[in-house]
Structure 1
Amino acid sequence: MTISKIRVPLTVAFAHLPNVSVRVQAVYVPADPYAVQLRFPSSAGRADTTEWVFARSLLAQGMDPLALTPAGDGDITVGPAEADDYVEIVLHPHAPERTRLFARRDELSSFLANTYMKVPDEQEDHWIDWAGAWSWLRRCVLEAGGAV
């Protein structure tokens, strides 16, 4: 199955940059159905971007309006912010130099809803190119001198 990516601009604010907002892009690629991406523009006009890739289910859990604590145990957590109309996303939450950003709940909710319209929950496996993944794995093993 081939279907186009979802790309949605979001406005985020970083905790360490008061009064500064940044436009980032939330991206969902149906061929990688379990993941969502946040793409940040590079500084100084460079063409490359910085991407955070994490589980769509983590975003959904962290967006739950009844959640009292952030979702996630790894490198990214998503959870409620002090202001109800924002969501807090933290990169490296257990490190001293963690990065905290705040995104508008309505923008993230709309993005997340669109991802589930493209690929419904528990239908993700149908969107993965298993034959292509197997071919890629075989090539990697053979190039490394292994046997398949």
Structure 2
Amino acid sequence: MSTSKIRTTLTVAFAHRGNQSVRIKAIYEPNDPYAVHLVFPSPTGRRELIWTFARSLLVHGMRQQQTEAPVGEGDITVGPAEARNYVEIVLHPFGRATTRLYARRDELTSFVAQAYEKVPDEQEDAWIDWREAWSWLHRCVLQGGAA
């Protein structure tokens, strides 16, 4: 099993910036098989901003029809955009204004296909290092230590 990451660059447009396009990174790590990461460049150039959410949320949102509501609760929702060749991703940071962005459907589809080729659906558990997971749980929760 290859544990190499899948990295791709996505073109996204921010609604609050007049749909100005920005390039962001999408990352999938087989050792964290349930998650995907969107990495945004920092406006200040100091640190990247990373949003991590369920791979299945991305897929379910991409499958929504134009007449259906976006999926997701909490920090991120994913659903169809008015333009059929885009997917709408809405970020709801705690205590901050909502950020609505539009990602190209073809780029997301390619990224998701690579992720599922690497780790097929319902085989995610085989990729988790359970010994390390339990060790982390013991350190962080039971002993009150830092991650």
TM-score (norm 2): 0.89
Structure 1 residues 3, 104: closer, same or farther in 2, change over 3 A? Answer: same
| Deviation at residue 141 of structure 1 after TM alignment | 4.5
What is the Cα deviation at residue 136 of structure 1? 1.7
Runs of 4+ in structure 1 off by over 6 angstroms are 93-96
Distance 1:62 1:95, change over 3 A: farther
SS of 1:137's partner is helix
1: CA distance between counterparts of 2:2 and 2:135?
A: 19
Give the unaligned 5+ runs of structure 2: none
Change (3 A) 1:130 1:96: closer
**1:95: how far off?**
7.5
In 2, are the aligned partners of 1:77 and 1:93 still within 8 Å (CA)?
no
Superposed, 1:1-148 pairs within 5 Å as: 1-46=1-46, 48-64=47-63, 66=65, 68-92=68-92, 97-141=97-141, 143-144=143-144
Deviation of the 1:142 alpha carbon: 5.8
Q: Over residues 66-99 of structure 1, what are the superposed CA-to-partner deviations in whole Å (9 max), with x where a residue is unaligned?
A: 3622111221000000000000000119988211
Equivalent residue of 1:109, what SS? helix
After TM superposition, the structure 1 stretch with the greater mean CA deviation from structure 2, 78-87 or 2-11, is 2-11
TM-score computed with the length of structure 1 as normaliser: 0.88
Task: Quote the offset at 1:45 in angstroms.
Answer: 2.8
Give the number of aligned pairs: 144
Q: Pick closer, same or farther for the CA change 1:142–1:77 going to 2, 3 Å.
A: closer
Q: Percent identity?
A: 65
Query: RMSD of the TM alignment (CA)?
Result: 2.1
